[in-house]
Amino acid sequence: MSHVLQRRETVTPEQLAADPRQAARWILAAAEAGEPEAQALLGQILLDGRGIARDPALARAWFAIAAGRGHAMAGNMLGRCCEHGWGGPADLPAAARHYRAAAERGLDWGMYNYANLLATGRGTERDEPRALAWYRRAAELGHAKSMNLLGRYYEEGRVVAADAQTALAWYRRSAEAGDFRGQFSYATALTSQDRWDEARHWLLAALELGHLKFLRKARDELQRAAWPQLAEITAAYARRCSELEAAES
């Protein structure tokens, strides 16, 4: 949704941040004039409440309009609305259809989200080989989250034969692309090779980027592993979880 919108005016992400209300007026005018990119972006700012009153139901409607005109990211966002119940009832089969359409239009996020539903059997028949194929396509396009999940398939030997080196390579690519789950996966895989300094680096990177739900799971995994070489990192994860929990209470 960060693409530049061009009509009579140009709306960049910088302008949206600097003057959200003016940018919203430009986006609305272009959306009403039939620009699919503007329609998709209008859906996003309505969903976020950026420069305009937050209205998830109207956001969902604009995503549907843009998706109907072939806008892949709008279709993906319509799928997310259907999956999570944003702006209307949750509808997992509809989410799967919209994600698949976005995936077939070549959008990496659509591939990833559709693969997630295929892998878990939500909204569609469970089909892990097809899920893996979509994760792979997204990963090959540079999608960091898909790289991490592709690595997990190879590490666990699901659908494909277990291959620790291939798993490590995908985890590394995910970590370097900035996915905190990939950073954690890469770090824990490095411990099996006694590459402790590299593992510390990536664990600290994941600690900085990760949200509370992830950090709790990571903390628990580190505590179960009880690596003495990473004792200070394990303690740092526990502290960060406590800080975030206190902030939420």
Residue 10 pLDDT exceeds 70: no
In a domain, 148, yes or no: no
CB 154 within 8 A of CB 160: yes
Question: β-strands 10-11, 5-6: how paired?
Answer: antiparallel
Q: Helices 144-156 and 164-176 sit at what angle, rounded to 10 degrees?
A: 160
CB 157 within 8 A of CB 192: no
Question: Which long-range contacts link 163-170 to residues 24+ away (Cβ below 8 Å)?
Answer: 164/189, 164/192, 170/139
Q: How long a stretch of residues is the chain?
A: 249
In a domain, 164, yes or no: no
Provide the pLDDT for residue 9.
43
Considering all CA atoms of the chain, what is the largest pairwise distance in Å, rounded to the nearest integer? 62
**Banded pLDDT at 82 (limits 50, 70, 90):** very high
Please tell me the total count of domains within the chain.
Answer: 1
Provide the pLDDT for residue 249.
86
As given in the structure block, the two tokens for residue 109 are 């996020």
The CATH code of the domain that includes 59 is 1.25.40.10
In a domain, 9, yes or no: yes
- The dihedral through the CA atoms of 111, 116, 121, 122 has a sign that is negative
In a domain, 74, yes or no: yes
pLDDT in tens, 45-69: 999 999 999 999 999 999 999 999 9
Domain that holds residue 21: 1-89
Provide the pLDDT for residue 19.
86
Kindly report the pTM of this predicted structure: 0.90
Q: How far apart are CA 174 and CA 183, in angstroms?
A: 7
In a domain, 38, yes or no: yes
